[in-house]
Amino acid sequence: MKEIIMQNINQQPWIWIFNHGWKVATILIGASIIYFSLKVFIRHLVQHAVQPSRLVSAEAERKREETLIRVFTATMRIVLWSLAVMMMLSEVGIDIAPILAAAGVVGLAFGFGGQYLIRDIISGMFILLENQYRVGDVVCFGEVCGLVEDINLRLTILRDLDGTVHYVPNGEIKQASNLSKEFSRVNMNIGISYSSDLEKVIAVVDQVGQGMFEDPVWKEMMLSAPKFLRVEDFADSAMIIKILGDTKPIKQWDVAGELRKRLKIAFDKNGIEIPFPQRVIHQGR
């Protein structure tokens, strides 16, 4: 193909430039203008199409918009530049009919052997249309969890806490658990000694949670103060209490870590024991 192009150009370069060169340049410039114009158009279209909701934060809406813009722009870029390349090949004297025929054969082969690819694309469309998750969310697919770094019609890219990147085909996702959609929650179970005054424990827990909620630094991450909910269980060595509190998306781990630190300090000051497993042994005579 390279030899054909150079032969056509070298025969009569000025004539070629006059007859075809300016057309090739026009195609490149026109494709670039159309590309950047469509990028702006897609952004405005998505921003107007995604209606704000009082139940969804501005940050969540922004994540959804950026995800849709990224996918639509990538799809448009592939289609646009494919057409531009075909037009330029035609201008330099290459018959694109065999290329189109070959593309048709490849498409037919994909039709028979690309069921998985088609399944991935269809699944990706529903993920985006149903707003199951977006770039910036923390999700779990079975045992694989991580931050969504990118999503397209074929696959979703996650990065876990170890920095490992997981490439998950959309068609393989049977269940998606979004840990950061709209809001997150601190859900803690803490064991206390059976000898502890339960009413005092409840008061201390609620006081620590309220104090943290009123802290200017942590208040920006929280939606409600963590509070005692109930006695969750009577375990072998401890009475288990449950503490709940709502946070902004992805902030539940930061809030939970600080809450554990403050609870430990408060329990020590108030003589509330967090017991370790104990076993009573009766020695026979």
pLDDT tens digits, the chain, 285 residues: what are they?
Answer: 555 555 554 555 556 555 666 777 888 888 888 888 888 888 887 777 666 655 456 666 777 777 778 778 887 888 888 888 888 777 766 766 666 666 665 565 555 556 777 788 888 888 887 888 888 899 999 889 999 998 888 899 999 989 999 999 999 999 999 998 888 999 999 999 999 999 999 999 999 999 999 999 999 999 999 999 999 999 888 999 999 999 998 899 999 999 999 999 999 999 999 887 766 676 766
Strand partners, 239: 192, 234
pLDDT at residue 215, as a whole number: 94
Question: Phi and psi at residue 230, in whole multiples of 5°?
Answer: -170, 170
Question: Phi and psi at residue 136, in whole multiples of 5°?
Answer: 100, -15
pTM more than 0.85: no
C-alpha closest to that of 124 among 147, 157, 146: 157
Structure tokens at 129: 């249309």
pLDDT digits (tens, 9 = 90+) for 101-129: 666 655 655 555 567 777 888 888 888 87
Cβ neighbours around 130 below 10 Å, total: 9
Q: Rounded CA gap, 94 and 76, in Å?
A: 25
